[in-house]
């Protein structure tokens, strides 16, 4: 039930980001979450979208990108809400490579996207601890 994240490699220059976003927008793809990391000459646009298959088709002709399974865990939008998630993963010795967060559609609802070394175990562990995780299906509009 993991979700698919797309990592799009963009040149670190004016116009590169808006061009990629426009292509997705023109295809009716909703960007549910995103993060941008930069290196010297390029950036990595990490996105969670409403329709991964269509996004791959749109991006495939022009951009180098990869698909990665990540965990998106529901948490309250309040102080300390991330702590139980991190505690559960830490106690199971699951390594976190990176993470970012986005707000949900409900009041005081947020999600944290986590890239871990063992997605299946992380999801099972979080669900066993009463922490809901998202699937690609739950992101479709």
Report how far residue 21's alpha carbon sits from residue 141's, in angstroms, rounded to the nearest whole number: 18
Position 140 scores a pLDDT of: 64
pTM given for the model: 0.88
CATH 1.10.357.10 for domain 3-67: no
Q: 21 pLDDT band (50/70/90 cuts)? A: very high
| Residue limits of CATH 3.30.2130.10 in the chain | 3-67
pLDDT of 114 reads: 95
Q: Give CATH superfamily name and number for 69-139.
A: ACT domain (3.30.70.260)
Chain segment 87-96, per-residue pLDDT in tens: 999 999 999 9
Sheet holding 64-76, edge to edge: 31-38, 42-49, 3-11, 64-76, 109-116, 96-103
């Amino acid at each position: 039930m993991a979700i698919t994240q797309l990592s799009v490699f963009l040149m670190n220059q004016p116009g590169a980001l808006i061009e990629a976003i426009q292509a997705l927008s023109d295809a009716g793809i909703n960007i549910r979450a995103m993060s941008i990391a930069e290196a010297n000459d390029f950036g990595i646009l990490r996105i969670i979208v409403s329709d991964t298959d269509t996004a791959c088709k749109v991006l495939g002709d022009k951009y180098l990108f990869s698909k990665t399974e990540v965990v998106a865990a529901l948490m309250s939008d309040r102080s300390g809400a991330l702590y139980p998630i991190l505690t559960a993963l830490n106690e199971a010795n699951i390594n976190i490579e990176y993470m970012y967060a986005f707000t949900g559609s409900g009041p005081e609802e947020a999600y944290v996207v986590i890239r871990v070394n063992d997605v299946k175990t992380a999801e099972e562990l979080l669900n066993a601890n009463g922490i809901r995780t998202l699937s690609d299906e739950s992101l479709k509009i």
